[in-house]
Chain A
Amino acid sequence: MATEIPQSHQNPDPQISLYYQTRAAHHAVVTSDWLAQAQAAVGHHPEDAVSDNSSLKSAGGEESGNGYSVVNEFNNWRKQPDLAEAVAAIRALASVIRSSQATTMMELEIELKKASDSLKSWDTTSISLTAGCDLFMRYVTRTSALEYEDFNSAKSRLLERAERFGEISYKARKIIAMLSQDFIFDGCTILVHGFSRVVLEVLRTAAQNRKLFRVFCTEGRPDRTGLRLSNELAKHDVPVKLLIDSAVAYSMDEVDIVFVGADGVVESGGIINMMGTYQIALVAKSMNKPVYVAAESYKFARLYPLDQKDMVPAIRPIDFGVPLPSKVEVETSARDYTPPQYLTFLFTDLGVLSPSVVSDELIQLYL
């Protein structure tokens, strides 16, 4: 039942998780060699996308055709740098419903499942993509509309829910930004790690609300996320200070709150985020600084890591700039897991949650 992914859509460089390739492509803050690879990866898609767009669903909803087109749709959406991957996937799946030729509910669901699987397999390391697809499927099919006799009305109901879910996900950032305004007070110092568009939105909104605060950015090697973030913040006249990753504990005294995004929120209430988040959370906890996580609700995944190694690894090779002897190993994992006891609050579009609520929400959704 797995849809064959056309060669061009597969990860051109299996060494690097596609997720990070995408982000690099969006952010364009990369080392030269990596940039070349990323560009190669990105460069493939527009050409194929254009040509494949025309060959959308064939009559009768052929599986391969649909799968093909889903990924195309997805790539179309994905090109916008501001759009989260999962939201793009959700929009793509909604379009699958819209353009589906199925005549029965079962057929439609099977189509959806296939499309969702093909999207997920496009990048297996992206948690938010997998979680977003799964949640979409649950949300959409979890409706009494399926009881309707009339297929078309049922289908339109599904479509309605799908679009609503897409809207919610799209607007999630704004909601989160609104909710977090209360937690940023005048004169506070915020420590930020990693480049999260949600956190950026939060800070941007705070700046627009004329709040006085300053930001410490960690450098975020090897992605240099800190540089990118400091660029953005400087545009909004927010005082920014760059720290190297090792200087976090040194500066933690002056910090009031720690703000991070999340690649995925797991069932225990912990988060999976860029490498270094766990470290910062540990230091913050030992110095009694609150750690806030800004994450959309479609990132809630049904994972439950017990320790750092209990996850699907995401590899991100590091370029040290100098040649290393071959005997020397490098830890190339790109993300780590922060257990829930180090987190204070999660800002999501569902509200301000404590970490233990994540599982409650998931249970109710997967009822």
Chain B
Amino acid sequence: MDARRVPRNVTDPKVRQVGFFAPVAPLDGSPSGPLRPTTPSPPVSGNSLSPVMIPLPRHLSSDNAPLSPLTGRRRRLLPPRGADKAAVKQNTHSASGLTPGVTDGGPPSEVQKEQAPVSSLPLKEKTTKAERRALQEAQRAAKASATADGSKKSVGASAVVTSANANPKKVAKAPPPQKKDSSSVAASEKRGGDRQTDKDRKKDVPHPRMQFDDEDRVEKAKKRSVVKQTEARYRVELFRHLPQYEHGTRLADLESKFFQLDPVHPAVYKVGLRFLTGDISGGNARCIAMLQAFQESIKDYSTRRDKTLIEKWDLPAKINGYVSFLIECRPLSISMGNAIRFLKTQIAELPLTMSESEAKASLLSDIDRFINEKIILADKVIVGHAVTKIRDGDVLLTYGSSSVVEMIFLCAHELGKQFRVVIVDSRPKFEGRMLLRRLVGKGVSCTYTHINAISYIMHEVTRVFLGASSVLSNGTVYSRVGTASVAMVAHQFHVPVLVCCEAYKFHKRVQLDSICFNELGDPDAIARVSGKEDINYLDDWTSSENLQLLNLTYDATPSDYTSMIITEYGMIPPTSVPVIVQEYGGEHLWI
């Protein structure tokens, strides 16, 4: 981080720089951010990388880093167009040490978008606009030429792409730190071309919830679209650093390209689509589905033989491509990130002397073993530990739907323990309903309520069981949004909170709040209450300038509110998570 810092010349007192920022070198012909009193410099380390993605190649990150300042702030992922507002919160992607893949894709898309949104955002200064537009035109021209040479696209391992609010794709980083070879360059180029038109098309489509397979509607929407303005509507200031939700618009494109997309294996493609639509959700389910898709692709993989007669083992590059594709569909969860890291380590450690079929077989068995040991068996052990904490007469509360917690309840029920369950649920996903259905089907007596009633019901609860998407090194539990509230209320009522989480979901990162790292969901999901049409007051929320909807997916529960964490290594206090990460984290490499 320090290497990237360059002493800044001027600090505008109006502009508050918060968080890490990369110094910005003044670009030719355009006043640099810090020097310009009017524009708040957006020194966000141009990280278009989904914060969820665990960066693998550190060398890439270090390569990318110097890019940021050089390419200018303009290339920042989310140059706060609206961020002209004085208090610009520069959240950093790199806060967590993730690879700050520079989003060179950012600028071009921004360029296109900037024209319209600029006008809609009154705070933009005219001079600024003109200057920036000029600059961006120049950049776009440069990029267009660079694109022909080989695009980064998603192929780039960590860096890149997608998610970053924009629809990057066409990323022409001046210095291509991508060690990833050009095997998929051709394909990426083609995809780049497609993406170009896609982007334009997407911009024409304002409403992500539209019926994309209905051609008529799409056309109508295009005609009446105000487009760029609505794009900007979705953005909440505080969360500009996160990849904005755009998945609704992607579905149709991806569906139509099913048979064209060469670089992505069909199994991975299928899984990606299922992520996109929300068919598969939940840390374990997504991880297993992804790993199984990778297994399919490895089975079908064969080394390339170039004209040079050298066999090229480019499986790592292919895997990177798949991962990038999956990120496009939905940002990775931490469990998926750890699994990918494991897989890459296994690939990297294959002895060179192995034949291709042996290597493939070894990888397939490694993946099988990972799924079996780290997920399936771990769940069994966790259930074994957890049922000892359930006594007769207990009232157990859970939030949302966690696969492990469901297993615990079912196992305890089978053991004959007398208890009842309170399921707390929340909009917009209503994940608790499926859990409720399954538990009631097995004969467990359940109560169902919404999170509004949590303080009402907590007084009769004896234990709280929660699942987690991940547990971070300072004991913070990173889980479905709403978990923190449940844990805090439970703590206030002196009800013990037990978090059940497999150890492969632990991560070295530390997070202090739910803002610097999160996943944004579909804002329209919260605007709409299904089944009650009469109270849909927010139907036209996009037209209101003052209104932005925020749909967070995760939140962070401080370690004080957790009584114990149940892992397959036993029941541990939240303070011991770093020890587990340190002692057993390396096991990923030696399985």
Contact = CB atoms under 8 A, between A and B. Distances in A.
Interface of A: 267-269, 302, 304, 306-307, 310, 340, 356, 359-360, 363-364, 366-367
Contacts of B573: 267-269, 340, 356, 359
B496 interface: yes
Given A304-B564, A306-B463, A310-B389, A364 B579 contact: yes
A364 B580 CA distance: 9
Contacts of A269: 573
> Interface size bucket, B side?
10 to 19
A366 B496 CA distance: 25
Contact of A359 (B496, B498, B576, B583): B576
Interface in B146-172: none
Contact of B580 (A268, A302, A356, A363): A363
Chain A interface helix/strand/loop/mixed: loop
B583 A366 contact: no
Given A306-B496, A367-B583, A359 B563 contact: no
Given A268-B573, A306-B389, A359-B579, 11 more contacts: A267-B573, A302-B570, A306-B463, A306-B496, A306-B563, A307-B496, A356-B576, A360-B575, A363-B572, A363-B576, A363-B583
A362 to B, nearest CB: 8
A267 B463 CA distance: 19
A336 B570 CA distance: 23
Interface in B364-401: 389
B583 A268 contact: no
B591 to A, nearest CB: 16
B569 A363 contact: yes
B571 interface: yes
A47 B459 CA distance: 56
A117 B571 CA distance: 23
Contact of B564 (A268, A356, A367): A268
Chain B interface helix/strand/loop/mixed: mixed
A142 to B, nearest CB: 14
A366 B564 CA distance: 18
28 contacts: A267-B571, A267-B572, A267-B573, A302-B570, A306-B389, A306-B496, A306-B563, A310-B389, A340-B573, A356-B573, A356-B575, A356-B576, A359-B572, A359-B573, A359-B575, A359-B576, A359-B579, A360-B575, A363-B569, A363-B570, A363-B572, A363-B576, A363-B579, A363-B583, A364-B583, A366-B569, A366-B570, A367-B583
Interface in B481-505: 496, 498
Given A269-B573, A302-B570, A360 B496 contact: no
A360 B574 CA distance: 11
Interface string B419-440: 0000000000000000000000
A363 B572 CA distance: 9
A366 B571 CA distance: 12
Contacts of B572: 267, 359, 363
Contacts of B580: 363
Nearest to B578: A360
A340 B564 CA distance: 12
Contacts of B563: 268, 306
A304 B498 CA distance: 11
Contacts of B569: 363, 366
Contacts of B389: 306, 310
A360 B570 contact: no
Contacts of A359: 572-573, 575-576, 579
B589 to A, nearest CB: 16
A41 B564 CA distance: 40
Contacts of A366: 569-570
A360 B576 contact: yes
Contacts of A304: 564, 571
B140 to A, nearest CB: 55
A283 B215 CA distance: 73
In this complex, the member of B496, B563, B564, B575 whose beta carbon has the largest number of chain A beta carbons within 10 angstroms is B575
A359 B559 CA distance: 15
Nearest to A354: B575
A364 B569 CA distance: 11
Nearest to B575: A356
B388 to A, nearest CB: 9
A307 B569 CA distance: 22
Nearest to B569: A363
A4 to B, nearest CB: 27
Contacts of B498: 306
Nearest to A304: B571
A17 to B, nearest CB: 21
B411 to A, nearest CB: 18
A268 B573 CA distance: 5
In this complex, the member of B564, B570, B573 whose beta carbon has the largest number of chain A beta carbons within 10 angstroms is B573
A360 B564 contact: no
A366 B569 CA distance: 9
Contacts of B576: 356, 359-360, 363
Contacts of A367: 583
A213 to B, nearest CB: 32
A306 B583 contact: no
A101 B570 CA distance: 35
Contacts of B564: 268, 304, 306
A303 B335 CA distance: 28
A364 B571 CA distance: 14
In this complex, the member of B389, B579, B580 whose beta carbon has the largest number of chain A beta carbons within 10 angstroms is B579
Contacts of A360: 575-576, 579
A269 to B, nearest CB: 7
Nearest to B463: A306
A364 B583 CA distance: 8
Contacts of A310: 389
Nearest to A269: B573
Contacts of B575: 356, 359-360
A307 B583 CA distance: 29
Contacts of A302: 570
A359 B563 CA distance: 13
A356 B578 CA distance: 12
B381 to A, nearest CB: 13
Nearest to B385: A304
Interface in B501-523: none
A336 to B, nearest CB: 16
